[in-house]
């Protein structure tokens, strides 16, 4: 599926489906080396598990709760029952006359299932937003906020890139698998902004320069540019302009026109148009 989407072989409707995106991303975490990828990604969410717990994790895609509530994914790992609700272009379902809000239904159903498994319940919401938009989660009760986490697809891309750049010893096939997923997120504009912090490692290696411009007098191929220093040399210094250069709303320049009599109709043509020119010129 990765290659089909990367090469534009799927319809736009399918590419925009969040179920496809959820399947692509979390199938990778299910089938890749879990000690590296699943454990590392959960650590970013402050969900800490051991290597063995990561390997024994159970993935349940689109489980069914009461009231036709269908979360995107449940991961049972270690002491946790992680319910993941993923969004791409759509939003969380609101309350209707017949049903509660989507997140409320998932909290209620997830709590019950987690209790049956004897696990700690955590709700994880994934969106395509570049930052957390709190208004989307207003329905979540205050007493449950400690068990709720928000993240975005961009964090998955950042996680993958960091692993690919810093982790040695990854199998070649798995490296290609992770790179394909990163490329897919990039294609969907879900890569995220890389801050200037990434330059911190390069700063110690930068060398200072006295001038950023070449010397015009010694440059062999300088073209038309002679450098700012030479081009700005004048015999006289530029004197500051006295008064207002630009039109100011506080000053009125045309008050004398208010004192004149009413404007008279102009008999002659004031403006010259192309049509007038063609009309005078006549046909060729």
* 28 in a structural domain: yes
Closest C-alpha to 77, from 60, 100, 46, 54: 54
* 89 in a structural domain: yes
pLDDT for the residue 145: 93
> Per-residue confidence at 111, pLDDT binned at 50, 70, 90?
very high
HEC assignment per residue over 56-85:
CCEEEECCCCHHHCCCCEEEEECCEEEEEE
How many structural domains compose the chain?
1
pLDDT for the residue 11: 79
> Per-residue confidence at 123, pLDDT binned at 50, 70, 90?
very high
For the cut 60, the answer to whether the pLDDT of residue 222 exceeds it is no
* 272 in a structural domain: no
Q: Which of 51-55, 183-187, 205-209 has the highest mean predicted lDDT (pLDDT)? A: 51-55
Strand, coil or helix: what is 137? helix
Q: What angle do CA 122, 124, 126 make, to 5 degrees?
A: 175
| DSSP for 140-151, written as a single string | S-GGGGGGEEEE
Domain of 80, in residue numbers:
2-196
* 133 in a structural domain: yes
Measured torsion, CA atoms of residues 116, 122, 181, 53, in degrees rounded to the nearest 10: -60
pLDDT for the residue 66: 85
Whether the CB-CB separation of 141 and 100 falls below 8 Å is answered with no
Q: How far apart are CA 241 and CA 238, in angstroms?
A: 9
Among the listed ranges 121-135, 154-168, 172-186, 228-242, which one has the minimum average pLDDT value?
A: 228-242
Whether the CB-CB separation of 84 and 38 falls below 8 Å is answered with no
pTM, two decimals, is: 0.67
Q: Which residues pair with 76 in a beta bridge?
A: 58, 81
Q: What angle do CA 218, 224, 225 make, to 5 degrees?
A: 65
pLDDT for the residue 133: 94
* 70 in a structural domain: yes
* 72 in a structural domain: yes
Instruction: Express as a percent the part of the chain with pLDDT over 90.
Output: 55
The per-residue pLDDT for range 16-30, each reduced to its tens digit, is: 788 999 999 999 999
Q: How far apart are CA 259 and CA 130, in angstroms?
A: 60
* 158 in a structural domain: yes
Q: How far apart are CA 181 and CA 176, in angstroms?
A: 9
Strand, coil or helix: what is 184? helix
* 243 in a structural domain: no
């Amino acid at each position: 599926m990765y290659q089909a989407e990367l090469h534009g072989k799927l319809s736009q409707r399918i590419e925009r489906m969040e179920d496809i995106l959820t399947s692509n991303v979390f199938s990778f975490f299910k089938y890749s080396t879990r000690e590296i990828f699943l454990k590392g990604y959960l650590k970013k969410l402050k969900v800490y598990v051991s290597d063995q717990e990561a390997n024994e994790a159970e993935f349940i895609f689109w489980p069914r709760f009461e009231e036709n509530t269908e979360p995107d994914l449940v991961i049972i790992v270690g002491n946790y029952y992680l319910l993941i609700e993923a969004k791409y272009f759509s939003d969380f379902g609101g309350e209707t006359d017949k049903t509660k809000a989507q997140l409320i239904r998932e909290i209620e159903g997830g709590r019950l299932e987690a209790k049956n498994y004897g696990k700690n319940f955590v709700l994880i919401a994934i969106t395509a937003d570049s930052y957390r938009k709190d208004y989307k989660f207003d329905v979540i009760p205050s007493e449950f906020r400690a068990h709720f986490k928000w993240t975005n697809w961009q964090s998955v891309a950042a996680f993958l890139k960091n692993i690919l750049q810093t982790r040695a010893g990854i199998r070649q096939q798995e490296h290609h698998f992770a790179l394909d997923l990163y490329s897919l997120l990039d294609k969907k504009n879900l890569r995220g902004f890389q801050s200037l912090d990434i330059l911190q490692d390069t700063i110690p290696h930068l060398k200072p320069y006295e001038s950023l411009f070449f010397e015009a007098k010694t440059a062999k191929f300088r073209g038309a540019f002679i450098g700012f220093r030479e081009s700005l040399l004048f015999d006289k210094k530029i004197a500051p302009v006295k008064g207002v250069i630009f039109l100011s709303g506080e000053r009125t320049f045309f008050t004398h026109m208010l004192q004149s009599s009413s404007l008279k109709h102009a008999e002659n043509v004031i403006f010259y148009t192309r049509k007038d020119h063609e009309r005078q010129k006549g046909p060729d």
